[in-house]
Amino acid sequence: MKKAPDNTTALKDAFMRLLRTNKNEAGYFKARTRLVWEKFFGKHVADNTRDLMVRNRKLYVYVSNAPLRNQLLMVREGIRTRLNEEFGEEYLEEVVIK
């Protein structure tokens, strides 16, 4: 027996398209990044992340722990790739760790 289509997924997709406009595109991607940050990169990274900012297709990650900052600098391309996979498009061009 065939399963009925998931209306929740369709509604979620429609809502996400509504939220994303040219005026709030950076805010949209910042919010999506915040939603998955701890799940993707762990509690330690999330706890030591002071802020996330998206501007001009770049993600700025502000970290309060110097050794962690150095570790993230080495894997920033992997961070960009992982988040772009989550977004379903190549939105982020660069990840800047500060």
**What is the pLDDT confidence band of residue 9, given thresholds at 50, 70 and 90?**
confident
Tokens in use for 5?
Answer: 């289509």
pLDDT at 1 over 60: no
pLDDT tens digits, 58-82:
999 999 999 999 999 999 999 999 9
CB atoms near residue 98 (< 10 Å): 12
Compute the chain's Rg from CA coordinates.
15
- CB contact at 8 A, 49 and 37: yes
Q: What percent of the chain has pLDDT over 70?
A: 88
- Copy the structure tokens of residue 35: 């939603």
Instruction: Kindly indicate the confidence band of residue 52, based on its pLDDT and cuts at 50, 70 and 90.
Output: very high
The residues spanned by each domain of the chain are 25-97
16-26: pLDDT as tens digits: 777 777 678 89
Q: Which fold has domain 25-97?
A: GMP Synthetase; Chain A, domain 3 (3.30.300)
